[in-house]
Structures are given as structure tokens and as C-alpha cells.
Amino acid sequence: MIVADYFEDAPGKKFSDYGELTSTFDAEGCLAVARKYKIDGILTVGTDQPVLTCAKVADELGLPFFLDVETAKAVTHKKIMKRIFKENSIPSAEYRLLKEDFKEDELNGLRFPLVIKPLDSQGQRGVYKVCSLEQLKSFLPSVLSYSRENEILAEEFYESEEITLSGWVRDNTVHILTVTDRQTISNYPHIGICIAHHFPSKYLTKSFTEIKELTQKIVKAFRIKEGPIYFQMLISSQGIKVNEIACRIGGAYEDELIPVITGVDMLDMLINHAAGQSIDYSLLENYDLTKNKSYAAVQMIFTKPGIIGRMTSMDEIMALPGAIAGRFNYHEGSKVEEIQNATQRVGYMIFQGDSLADLSNKLKQAYSRLEIGDIDGNNMLIDLLNKQRVNLQ
């Protein structure tokens, strides 16, 4: 196995046969690596932009991949994505594309506050909520710094809650596996920082038909014929709007959550396809989300800024009732920065319960056991259960 990453100490390199100091955003660089090792398959999990890299490498070398280059571009580039939304009457926030020297009248028809984003980044990098023209101009260079483009996306802020949909498309048919409530926090001007996913979504029962029809419409519009899907939607009393879509497994550890609560192992399916092996679709075909009685939550672990001096062993947390999986992304001695995006996640833990109340109790027990302190002995852990917009009783 070969792992490409621009970090020398990328975690995956510990488990790989070979590690290359190549960015997964660099399609030509990854193609050179692929040729160097004469690879048999290529894949990415939980990241947006490398989907396009994989499609380009697979296309050049004749390797199996679920998406062609055109579709991969459409689901990883927000300019194309928003255009397809508009052309196919897929509800989404009103937007404009702005260059650094944009004129004020280009914003005519948009109402502040706005959300500004890079067109081709991921993990909430370079995403800001701005409440004035002056703020927009101030943050625009920072947004561009996370992009390879010379323009950004500016869209109206939609006051709402978020849901995420994970599924698989087979022969143009959508199989929805999970719909979760995506819990977020803001550290203004940074917004939409994911702190948890709760399954099932509180909107599932009353909105499932609308969610399913919208998902089918998206799949048709983007010509997604095979493979994983991960859609983020915004939901309020004014209706559902699509935030972003991706053709990958979700980046909030869905590869570990979904097999436990559905029986369908999408990661195993991805690996088999990349290796040119057949996929057993029987569990996918027999699964029915509306009959799933599981309760589960993915909890992201965030801390205050500082240098970590001590941490409760994750093995101790995983020994608690209901624990499915967990890991720290940082270690003792690591410096944690102010929360801006997903890269400040200190770790995560996934728990399952027999009911909402049971799940809530297990999460509270986990947080009561978990301790993270700085080198001066001060508590660093942020108790995110109190910040979640869900009735965990």
C-alpha cells in the first residue's frame, strides 16, 4: 500500500508499505507516484478534493473508479456544483462568484449576512460568515489562500439546522443508509464546525420522502451512476436547501459508524472496487433505513488552545458500555490552536445506545471520564454536549 500526503508524519504512513511526500490535491504528482509503483488501484476516504485526483489518475491508467473525471469535477468544485443546482431547480442558497477586485453592485440581490468559501477546498477551511461589505473584503484574501482559483463563492446565510445523508448508488438507484443531525458550533467568523452527528435525524420521520426525492434529483442531475454519496442539507421551517454534495464516505468517521448501525460496510465496498474485485451488494439491497431502530452518535473532541500535558487513555473510554470506536488525533505535547475548522479536532468517540435516553447517558458517562489538561494542569476539554441542539434526555 502506498500513501500520498504532503505531511511527512501523516498517520496513514505508519501503516503503509511506502509513503510519498505528495499532496493529494496534486493530480500530476499522484499520477507520477502511481506510475512509479505500478499501482493496481486508487481510492480516497472522507476527503473531497482527492476524489478528483483519484478520478484523473484512474482515467489516465485505466484503473477502476466510480466516477468519470467530469462528474468528479462537478462534485468537488463549488462553481460547477452551484451551476448544476440552479439549472436543475435544486434548492440552494442564492450566491455570487467574486474576484478580489469585485464591484459592490455584483452583490445586488444578495442579503447580508453572507457565507464566503473557497471553490475547491474542504474541512471548513477558509469559510467565514460576514455581516458587511467591509468584512467580506477583509476576509476575501484569506478565502483565496485556501484555493487554486482566483474567485470565491459568496452565498446568503440560511438560518437552519443541518442534516447529512450517507448512501450508495448502484445502477443509478439510490440506497440511503443514514440521515443524521449534523451538530455544529461557530467561533465567529468561523462557522459550521462539526462537533457531532446524531443518528437517526430528528427530521427523518416527517421529512424522509422529501429528502429521498431531493437525493434522487441530485443523483440524476450530476449523473452519479455508481458509488458512495454524502450530501449536506440545510433544513428549517422554510424548507430544505442543499448545502454541498460529495461522492465519498463522510469525513466524520462514517466508515466506522455506518457498518455497525446498518450492517453495510462502504469502506470494504470501496476497497473491493478499487482492487478490481466484485462487490457483494446483498446487505445494501436488503437494508431499509425506515426500519433501523439504532441510536448512535459520533462526538468530536475539541479543546481550548494550548499544549496538551495529559490525556485520558482512549482505551479507557472505549471500555465503557456502548463504545464503538474512538481515537485521538493529537497526543501529549501537541499544540492545539484556536478552533477554526475540522483540523483542530483533538479526537473523536462513537457510541451506540438502545434508546435516545440510553445514548445520552452513555455520552455523559464518556465525557465525565474523559480528561485533557495542559502542561500547567488546567482543563482544556470543551464539553460539547451542552452545545448541541438536540434533546438528549
What's the CA gap between 41 and 79, in Å, rounded? 29
Pairing of strands 190-199, 295-301: antiparallel
Can you list the domains of the chain with their CATH numbers? 2-74 (no CATH), 94-156 (3.30.1490.20), 161-291 (3.30.470.20), 295-387 (3.30.470.20)
pTM of the model: 0.93
pLDDT in tens, 254-276: 999 999 999 999 999 999 999 99
Measured between alpha carbons, how far is 360 from 391 in angstroms, rounded to an integer? 9
Instruction: Output DSSP code: residue 104.
Output: G
199/211 Cα distance (integer angstroms): 15
pLDDT one digit per residue (tens) for the chain, 393 residues: 999 998 888 888 888 999 999 999 999 999 999 999 999 999 999 888 899 999 999 999 999 999 999 999 999 999 999 999 999 999 999 999 999 999 999 999 999 999 999 999 877 788 999 999 999 999 999 999 999 999 999 999 999 999 999 999 999 999 999 999 999 988 889 888 899 999 999 999 999 999 999 999 999 999 999 999 999 999 998 899 999 999 999 999 999 999 999 999 999 999 999 999 999 999 999 999 999 999 999 999 999 999 999 999 999 999 999 999 999 999 999 999 998 888 899 999 999 999 999 999 999 999 999 999 999 999 999 988 876 644 443
Nine cell digits for residue 275: 482492487
